[in-house]
């Protein structure tokens, strides 16, 4: 089992979904974890589910530079440094191209792309001091296109290529990788299903598009994140690892 004893970890978007599973997995393997959450209520809901031991709140909206710096600064101060940053904060909304508003465009780019970049920028001094690494949460939508997902695909494609560019610029200083999940059984996917008007059909279609005929669990995605963050992946940087049941291969 991967060992993160003594490691200091910040997981943005850590209060629910993949982020929450990732924070819990790091803590279970010995790490002290700062959980990035938008509000104290979000962190409290996380702590009620997973317990408070080994977790510290890092509250704020990472979608703008000032907010990202506040979250990272709070985490570094509480943890006494930083070894691993997981950029998991993100949003997902489906729209037809002709229905996308400027607000839709701006908000998804602000959080999915801007939050990932500015948290990484803010964390860089602490990560360099520790010889640490970054794992970004991208998506299979950053590798292939999906209908109704043009803006989301644009942001996650940006995360994938930003990961590569950062990895090269920071090579031998800080490793940078990303995970590209397909459909994952999360609250966000179930919200999208409900918004479609036919949740049962949406979820069935989602599963049937995956060669393995199911969605991933949050724990399966967390396991991939932990591997990339571990010493076992010490020669891996700039990678975009699909966790998609064969979706991008097909």
Residues annotated catalytic, as ranges: 152
User: What does each C-alpha distance from 83 to 20, 79, 129, 133 come to in angstroms?
Assistant: 18, 10, 9, 7
Query: What phi and psi, each to the nearest 5 degrees, are found at residue 234?
Result: -65, -20
Question: In a 10 Å sphere around its CB, with 0-12 CB exposed, 13-18 middle and 19+ buried, how is residue 126 labelled?
Answer: buried
30 CA to centre of own chain: 20
Closest CA to 133 of 161, 102, 173: 173
Closest CA to 7 of 176, 132, 170: 132
């Amino acid at each position: 089992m991967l060992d993160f004893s003594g490691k200091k970890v910040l997981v943005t978007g850590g209060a629910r979904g993949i982020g929450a599973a990732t924070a819990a997995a790091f803590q279970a393997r010995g790490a002290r974890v700062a959980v990035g959450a938008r509000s104290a209520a979000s962190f409290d809901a996380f702590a009620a589910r997973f317990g408070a031991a080994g977790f510290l709140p890092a509250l704020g909206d990472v979608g703008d530079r000032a907010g990202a710096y506040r979250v990272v600064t709070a985490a570094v101060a509480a943890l006494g440094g930083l070894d691993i940053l997981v950029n998991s904060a993100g949003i997902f909304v489906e729209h037809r191209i002709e229905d996308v508003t400027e607000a839709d465009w701006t908000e998804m780019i602000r959080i999915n792309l801007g939050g990932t970049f500015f948290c990484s920028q803010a964390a860089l001094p602490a990560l360099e001091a520790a010889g640490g690494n970054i794992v970004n949460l991208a998506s299979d939508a950053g590798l292939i296109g999906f209908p109704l997902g043009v803006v989301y695909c644009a942001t996650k494609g940006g995360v994938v290529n930003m990961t590569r560019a950062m990895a090269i610029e920071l090579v031998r200083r800080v490793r940078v990788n990303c995970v590209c999940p397909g459909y994952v059984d999360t609250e966000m996917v179930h919200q999208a299903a409900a918004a479609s008007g036919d949740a049962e059909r949406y979820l069935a279609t989602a599963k049937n598009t995956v060669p393995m005929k199911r969605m991933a669990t949050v724990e399966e995605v967390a396991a991939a994140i932990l591997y990339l963050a571990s010493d076992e992946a010490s020669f891996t940087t700039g990678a975009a690892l699909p966790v998609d049941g064969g979706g991008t291969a097909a």
